[in-house]
Amino acid sequence: MTNDPHNTIERLTNALEVVATSAESPWERAKKTVLVLSPLQASEFPEPARSKFEDITGYFRTVNSEAIAEVDLAILFRAIWDLYWEMTTNKKYQ
């Protein structure tokens, strides 16, 4: 039995990869990130990570309508980064 039955860490890792390595515009990267994370449900996250995930999903509708400002994209990308580090057992470099 796995500790991550919904592949949460893998999806967060894939989302970060899109954000960090794609040569596309920030809006296109955001759209791809939404596709990677959209199968996840808030109920799959423990608190307080659940609240962070809900904040991230709050951007999904705006990203899809292309009505999101670039500064909000930066906030979205940082939120994904923060959620990844909260959920993973990996450690940040010091």
The pLDDT of residue 1 = 38
Please give the residue range of the domain that contains residue 70: 8-87
Q: 43 lies in a domain?
A: yes
Compute the distance between CA of residue 69 and CA of residue 27 in angstroms, rounded to an integer: 9
Instruction: Give the dihedral sign, CA 21/26/27/30.
Output: positive
Q: Tens digits of per-residue pLDDT, 13-64?
A: 999 999 999 999 888 999 999 999 999 999 989 888 999 999 999 888 787 7
In a domain, 52, yes or no: yes
- pTM value is 0.85
Stronger pLDDT, 18 or 3, i.e. the higher one: 18
CB 79 within 8 A of CB 52: yes
The answer to whether position 32 is within a domain reads yes
Q: How many domains does the chain have?
A: 1
In a domain, 30, yes or no: yes
CA 88 to chain centre: 13
Q: Assess if residue 3 is contained within a domain.
A: no
Q: Provide the H-helix boundaries in the chain.
A: 8-21, 26-37, 49-57, 60-65, 70-87
